[in-house]
């Protein structure tokens, strides 16, 4: 299995609070991604990174920011969480955009 | 814009029966195509991929998929389903260049005895 960990695995937070999710990889892959998974919507890309400090927006980036200061870590921040951001968040990595992606175990976030 | 459609939200098959999950895509040129599986509470795992060449590709766990350019399809098949195949299946595509994967909304597979 690809070395990808996500923390925390579960989090409950209140509306309006900031939340940061962490993705850590040990594979030295160039690309890292954040997705959210919701029933009936499949996986939707939030942001992705193609190198340290190089990021780009995905399909559903509003309300989210990311940072990548080291190759191995990709952080997803919800500056002010809303109930619509209740979801399961997956991190993924790949060697290139057209290469297969390897997924982390997911983080279940509940915003009350 | 490229897109992926999985027409079946939920499929139920009997253990030992054959399986075909449909995937249709919208894209002018030949895309790179993938099938992923997600077991309950888990992340996604790659089953197989198609980049070019032989249009019938073999994957893990006894799955195969056939790329049909004229039908814009990349259907996943398995000749005999096992109870452990119950999961959600996602088709995904990207085109050559610098665009990330686009996923379909998934098909949930239930297996009954």
Q: Which residue of A has its CA nearest to B107?
A: A42
Phi, psi (deg, nearest 5) at residue A65? -135, 160
- How many domains, chain B? 1
Q: How confident is the model at residue B27 (pLDDT cuts 50, 70, 90)?
A: confident
Return d(Cα B3, Cα B23) in angstroms, integer. Answer: 11
Q: pLDDT, tens digit, for every residue of A13-65? A: 999 999 999 999 999 999 999 999 998 888 999 999 999 999 999 999 999 99
Q: How confident is the model at residue B41 (pLDDT cuts 50, 70, 90)?
A: confident
- Give the pLDDT score at B97: 59
Sign of CA pseudo-dihedral A76, A20, A108, A93: positive
Nearest-CA distance B49 → chain A (Å): 8
Query: HSE of B9 in the Cβ direction (CA atoms, 13 Å)?
Result: 3
Q: How confident is the model at residue A88 (pLDDT cuts 50, 70, 90)?
A: very high
B101/A104 CB distance under 8 A:
no
Q: Domain A4-111, CATH 2.40.110.10 — does that match?
A: no
A98/B96 CB distance under 8 A:
yes
Tokens of A100: 């297969």
Chain B within 8 Å of A3 (Cβ-Cβ)?
Answer: no
> By residue range, what is the domain housing residue B77?
3-112
DSSP letters, B68-86, are EGGGTEEEEEESS--GGG-
Per-window interface: A 64-83 vs B, CB < 8 A: none
Q: Is the pLDDT of residue B59 over 70?
A: yes
DSSP assignment, residue A100? P
Residue range B99-108: mean pLDDT, rounded: 90
**Cα angle: A93, vertex B104, B60; to 5 degrees:** 60
Nearest-CA distance B95 → chain A (Å): 7
Question: Which residues of chain B approach chain A closer than 8 Å at the C-beta?
Answer: 32, 34, 36, 41-46, 49, 51, 90, 94, 96-101, 103-106
- Give the pLDDT score at B100: 83
What are the residue ranges spanned by the domains of chain A? 4-111
Residue range B34-50: mean pLDDT, rounded: 93
Return d(Cα A96, Cα B100) in angstroms, integer. Answer: 9
Query: Of A40, A42, A92, which has the smallest distance from its Cβ to B90's Cβ?
Result: A42
Residue B40: CATH number of its domain: 2.60.40.10
From A4-13, B20-29, B104-113, the region with the lowest mean pLDDT: B20-29
Q: Is the pLDDT of residue B30 over 80?
A: no
A9 alpha-carbon distance from chain centroid: 12
Return d(Cα A91, Cα B2) in angstroms, integer. Answer: 22
Average pLDDT taken over every residue of chain A: 94
Q: Is the pLDDT of residue A8 over 80?
A: yes
Nearest-CA distance A61 → chain B (Å): 14
- Please tell me whether the peptide bond between A8 and the residue prior to it is cis, using omega within 30 degrees of 0: yes
Q: Is the pLDDT of residue A82 over 90?
A: yes
Q: Is the pLDDT of residue B1 over 80?
A: no
Can you name the residues that pair with B90 across neighbouring β-strands? Answer: B36
B90/A41 CB distance under 8 A:
no
DSSP assignment, residue A63? T
Query: Of A4, A58, A105, which has the smallest distance from its Cβ to B100's Cβ?
Result: A58
Q: How confident is the model at residue A2 (pLDDT cuts 50, 70, 90)?
A: low
């Amino acid at each position: 299995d690809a070395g990808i960990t996500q923390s925390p695995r579960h989090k409950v937070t209140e509306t309006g609070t900031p939340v940061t999710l962490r993705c850590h990889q040990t594979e030295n892959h160039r690309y890292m991604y954040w997705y959210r998974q919701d029933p009936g919507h499949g996986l939707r890309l939030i942001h992705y990174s193609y190198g340290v400090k190089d990021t780009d927006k995905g399909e559903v980036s509003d309300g989210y920011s990311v940072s990548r200061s080291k190759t191995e870590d990709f952080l997803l921040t919800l500056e002010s969480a809303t109930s619509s951001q209740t979801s399961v968040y997956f991190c993924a990595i790949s060697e290139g955009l057209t290469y297969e992606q390897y997924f982390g175990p997911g983080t279940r976030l509940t915003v009350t | 814009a490229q897109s992926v459609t999985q027409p079946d939200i939920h499929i139920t098959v009997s253990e030992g029966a054959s399986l075909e999950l449909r995937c249709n895509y919208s894209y002018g040129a030949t895309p790179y195509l993938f099938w992923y599986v997600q077991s309950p509470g888990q992340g996604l795992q790659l089953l197989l991929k198609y980049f070019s060449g032989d249009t019938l590709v073999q994957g893990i766990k006894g799955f195969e998929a056939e790329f049909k350019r004229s039908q814009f399809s990349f259907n996943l098949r398995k000749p005999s389903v096992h109870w452990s195949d119950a999961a959600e299946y996602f088709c995904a595509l990207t085109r050559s260049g610098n665009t990330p994967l686009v996923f379909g909304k998934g098909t949930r597979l239930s297996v009954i005895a």
